[in-house]
Amino acid sequence: MPADLPHSPAGDLRGLLSNLREETNFINLGAVSCLATASQATSTAGHEDAQVPAVGEVFFYAVAYNNGTSRSYGTGTAAKPRITAAGGCE
């Protein structure tokens, strides 16, 4: 996670790219795994994800944040919110 992000992370998650779906009003991230909950860390150094995706699969990573207002995973300027189908860091 870049050190210059103007927010406090609310959770880091991992999902499978093949599970991403664009719905009418949101982006469905599918089932995800929480890698870290609320933290002031600006790096994952020392806490790298040890999981490896299956052959032919790709992981994606996303961060939810709070800069005074809770934001969904990804950027606040995206056209649609990102919602988890199961799992997450709530």
* Sheet containing strand 82-83, strands side by side: 21-22, 27-28, 82-83
Residue range 34-76, pLDDT digits in tens: 887 766 666 667 777 889 999 999 999 888 776 676 666 766 6
Contact status, residue 82 vs residue 22, Cβ threshold 8 Å: no
Mean pLDDT, the chain, whole residue set: 77
Going by C-beta distance under 8 Å and a sequence separation of 6 or more, which residues neighbour residue 69? Answer: none
pLDDT of 86: 80
pLDDT > 70: percent of the chain: 66
pLDDT of 21: 94
Q: Where are the domains of the chain?
A: 8-83
- How far apart CA 72 and CA 84 sit, in angstroms, is 10
